[in-house]
Structure 1
Amino acid sequence: MALNIVIMAAGKGTRMKSALPKVLHKLAGRSLLQHVLDCTAPLQAAQRIVITGHGAEQVEAATAASGARFVRQMPQLGTGHAIQQTVPVLPDDGTTLILNGDVPLIRSETARRLAEACSDRALVLLTIDLADPTGYGRIVREGGRADGAVQAIVEHKDATPEQRLLREGYTGMMAAPTALLKRWVMALSNNNAQGEYYLTDIVAMAVAEGVPVLGLKAADETEVLGVNSPLQLADLERRYQRRQAETLMEAGVRLADPARFDLRGELVCGQDVEIDINSLFEGRVELGDGVRIGANCVIRNARIAAGARIHEFTHIDGESAGVSIGEGALIGPFARLRPGAQLGAEVHIGNFVEVKNSQLGRGAKANHLAYLGDATVGERVNYGAGSITANYDGANKHRTTIGDDVHVGSNCVLVAPVTLGNGATVGGGSTITRDVGAGELAVARGRQTAVAGWKRPQKKR
């Protein structure tokens, strides 16, 4: 039978104290809601429905690419009221899986198990045993036994002192036969302390009709924790990063300190990779065998081949074009590689060197205080400190071509478009505006003049 997934994302999130809708706050570089959408993608649902409310237009625009369908809850009168808004777009058969847009780390496998346990016949609740279940609805089981049949969920605000002692909490996620769910939610009442329509009240309806009510316990607390405040968001960020760090270390990656590691995308590592403290990875990053990443690096959308060393405080941002670094290359410290940088094997890029949209051949070196933009650089080139390619004329970008074995002295300006032939040499301090032939020496600077007996001006007393 068809699976429909409903994600509740209408809440304001008052405790976030932010103008941004709660579900758009980011964890590991993605919004809370995007995490849930990504989790559900492998389930191949017939449709995914996101219930929006506060900041609806902003939330819908931010997640439009997911292909989800949106329904609005205006005003927000509780979780049951939220599901009522989906009734017109839900079919009359199959299973509906209900998730929360502010519970970002639910695992795909857990969501799948929840839907499968329903089997279009049972109401299945995802629960968790907590040391402190404050704020969670309590699971009330027959006879108070841990294995007793689920009889009801009591919201924390409505629970008696005895019920608040229960440790099994409802996570806010469930799966139900769609036809029954539609009928139950339309029969809800708001006769409670908050004057809201509670989705949890359908448990009593299911019990009264003899429909099986199952409690499926989540594997761990982290995957069912919600975000209601900046403190909770920060706590979940560290939990998520620890989970990612442990996965990498189990695969053989050596992290200097897993508590000081951040991954906001996908990191693929070969054998014997070492990552020092405070490094941040975003987008898709591939690290070959034996790559070493120094402390305090930022690496985004890059492929780094085996044996390369990225020294401390290096910033690599491939954006959509990507950055590639060849085997045995040495980068940094304090280097910056921008989109389109393609560095061959054994290339050296040193401190305060910036490379953008340029290709460097094997063994090329730019070790200090230099800029290479829109350039094609041959093998074994030595590019001097303080030298730049002047690639922009105020309207258009132009390319610089540097052949193999070229030596560019310090403090040179190569005004593109210009070509330096194989083996050419450019004297320090030169501004090159015309092509230089293979093996030629080019010097373009004012002639040095010495004035004998010259004295510096003196201050008047």
Structure 2
Amino acid sequence: MVLDIVIMAAGKGTRMKSARPKVLHRLAGRSLLQHVLQTACALGADRIVTITGHGADEVEASVGAPNLVFVRQMPQLGTGHAVQQAAPMLHDEGTTLILNGDVPLIEASTARALVDSCAGAKLALLTIELPDASGYGRIVRDGDAVRAIVEHKDATPDEHAIREVYTGMMAVPTGALKRWLAQLTNDNAQGEFYLTDIVAMAVADGVPVVAAHPGSETEVLGVNSPAQLAELERRYQRARADVLMEAGVRLADPARFDVRGELACGSDVEIDVNCIFEGSVDLGDNVRIGANCMIRNARIAAGAVIHPFTHIDGEALGVTIGAGALVGPFARLRPGAALGDEVHVGNFVEVKNSTLAKGAKANHLAYLGDASVGERVNYGAGSITANYDGANKHRTVIGNDVHVGSNCVLVAPVTLGDGATIGGGSTISKDAPAGQLTVARAKQVSLPGWTRPVKKAK
């Protein structure tokens, strides 16, 4: 059966007090709308019609999905008016599922159950009972049968007492939806075209109206303010933390933990407080992550230890860290950093687009950019690769068992042969032979009788 999905994303979001369109505010590293699109894709929709309005150009340029098309609602005259704009893009048969772009955590399983409840012949509403139903449309029943949805501003005192509410999501036979949309009027307190008025039309046409329910309240909570966004972020993160802890990950404090992408963990992984994981991160068995680390797009092998305040950002190239490696504290690994087994990268060391082979060490205050570092290299404090000549990047090659003294500058392109030793304070602009000491610095001179300048009296 053909499945169309309509996503309502035209609202301004006045209470967000932001120039950014509401549906582009981010939760767990992705926009609210992109969360909903991910759910839509999981259902295998034949067409996804997203209705934009406020900030339409920005919204349409910021998200993507297979089979996605956009329509615009200008001006915004209510939910029914919004879906009227989408109607020409819908197939003439099958089912249309209506979702909201500011309700980001709807599960694909819940959306699928709603579509199944419709079965191409019924009007299926996603409803939930809330202790405080303020602002929601109330579900009015006659016995077990749903007879209508009454918007909060149009409800009577008795209807305000109803706790079962409409979540804003429904699945409808597409042919009937198009017919009902053409019959909508704006004769209500808001002067808007309400999509919920189609419930009464379905009842009048003898179409069964049924209700499905989400697995949790979190799935149907919308975002209308920064406070609501923060609340939903913590709910999402706590749910992710619970899944990881159930699998055996030790989180020092699940309330101080953020995943903004995908995090895979082996056995006996330990994660301290205030760590952020973005993009795709894979932690092997027995990995330990210290407090206040930020890790994005990285693979960290078994037994590695990431000490506190380390910043790892692989961007598109990624970062890899070998088994038993020690990184940090206060280290920075940039795209293309590849650390072998048992490598040590210490405090205030930055590595970019460089490989460090097994057992190499750069323990203090150093920079390695566009470099290939051999096994068991000791790279001294304060040493750097000068990899950029102002126009082009060049590579430094450091062989096995090389010792680079403190405060050296390796001016690329340059090669240090196996077993070479570079004297501290050297600026190396030519290849250094294997097995030899290379020193490139001025001769030390002491000047007897020299005195420091003094300030002149005014």
Quick check: TM above 0.5?
yes
- d(CA) in 1 for partners of 2:279 and 2:363? 28
> 1:298: which partner in 2?
294
- Residue 371 of structure 2: which of 358, 375, 378 is its match? 375
> 1:229: which partner in 2?
225
- Residue 417 of structure 2: which of 415, 421, 426 is its match? 421
- d(CA) in 1 for partners of 2:37 and 2:446? 73
Kindly report which structure 2 residues correspond to 1:433-452, keeping only aligned pairs within 5 A, or say none: 433-452=429-448
Give, in angstroms, the shift of residue 450 of structure 1: 2.1
Q: Is it true that 1:332 corresponds to 2:332 in the alignment? A: no
Write out per-residue CA displacement over residues 384-403 of structure 1, whole angstroms, 9 at most, x where no aligned residue: 00000000000000000000
- d(CA) in 2 for partners of 1:227 and 1:196? 21
Q: For the Cα contact (< 8 Å) 1:292–1:310, is it kept in 2? A: yes
- Residue 242 of structure 2: which of 243, 246, 252 is its match? 246
The residue type paired with residue 47 of structure 1 is R
> In the superposition, relative to structure 1, how do residues 65 and 119 fare at CA in structure 2: closer, same or farther (>3 Å)?
closer
Kindly report which structure 2 residues correspond to 1:9-158, keeping only aligned pairs within 5 A, or say none: 9-64=9-64, 66-143=66-143, 148-158=144-154
- d(CA) in 1 for partners of 2:117 and 2:427? 73
TM-score between both structures, scaled by the size of structure 1: 0.98
Q: For the Cα contact (< 8 Å) 1:358–1:375, is it kept in 2? A: yes
Q: For the Cα contact (< 8 Å) 2:41–2:65, is it kept in 1? A: no
- d(CA) in 2 for partners of 1:49 and 1:251? 38
> Which one is further off, 399-408 or 212-221?
212-221
- d(CA) in 2 for partners of 1:39 and 1:106? 7
Give, in angstroms, the shift of residue 454 of structure 1: 3.9
User: % of aligned pairs identical?
Assistant: 74
> 2:282: which partner in 1?
286
- d(CA) in 1 for partners of 2:21 and 2:317? 31
Name the SS for the 2:201 alignment partner. helix
Write out per-residue CA displacement over residues 212-265 of structure 1, whole angstroms, 9 at most, x where no aligned residue: 100111111000000011111111011111111111111111100000000000
Name the SS for the 1:84 alignment partner. helix
Give, in angstroms, the shift of residue 45 of structure 1: 1.1
Write out per-residue CA displacement over residues 45-83 of structure 1, whole angstroms, 9 at most, x where no aligned residue: 111110111111111111145541111111110000111
> 1:344: which partner in 2?
340
Where does the alignment leave 5 or more consecutive residues of structure 1 unmatched? none
Give, in angstroms, the shift of residue 457 of structure 1: 4.0
Where does the alignment leave 5 or more consecutive residues of structure 2 unmatched? none
Aligned pair count reads 457
- Residue 394 of structure 1: which of 376, 379, 390 is its match? 390
Q: For the Cα contact (< 8 Å) 1:37–1:66, is it kept in 2? A: no
The residue type paired with residue 188 of structure 1 is L
> 1:264: which partner in 2?
260
The residue type paired with residue 167 of structure 1 is R
> Which one is further off, 57-66 or 132-141?
57-66
> Which one is further off, 12-21 or 409-418?
12-21
Q: For the Cα contact (< 8 Å) 1:406–1:423, is it kept in 2? A: yes
The residue type paired with residue 122 of structure 1 is K
The residue type paired with residue 288 of structure 1 is G
> 2:159: which partner in 1?
163
> 1:186: which partner in 2?
182
Give, in angstroms, the shift of residue 460 of structure 1: 5.1
Give, in angstroms, the shift of residue 92 of structure 1: 1.5
- d(CA) in 1 for partners of 2:452 and 2:80? 86
The residue type paired with residue 262 of structure 2 is E
Give, in angstroms, the shift of residue 456 of structure 1: 3.5
- d(CA) in 2 for partners of 1:457 and 1:200? 86
- Residue 273 of structure 1: which of 269, 277, 302 is its match? 269
Name the SS for the 2:116 alignment partner. helix
Q: For the Cα contact (< 8 Å) 1:268–1:286, is it kept in 2? A: yes
- d(CA) in 1 for partners of 2:141 and 2:189? 23
> In the superposition, relative to structure 1, how do residues 46 and 458 fare at CA in structure 2: closer, same or farther (>3 Å)?
closer
- d(CA) in 1 for partners of 2:231 and 2:64? 28
- d(CA) in 2 for partners of 1:2 and 1:65? 18
The residue type paired with residue 381 of structure 1 is V
The residue type paired with residue 338 of structure 1 is R
Name the SS for the 1:259 alignment partner. coil
Give, in angstroms, the shift of residue 125 of structure 1: 0.3
- d(CA) in 2 for partners of 1:282 and 1:88? 39
- d(CA) in 2 for partners of 1:238 and 1:286? 22
- d(CA) in 2 for partners of 1:244 and 1:270? 15
- d(CA) in 2 for partners of 1:5 and 1:71? 13
- d(CA) in 2 for partners of 1:167 and 1:64? 36
Q: For the Cα contact (< 8 Å) 2:277–2:295, is it kept in 1? A: yes
TM-score between both structures, scaled by the size of structure 2: 0.98
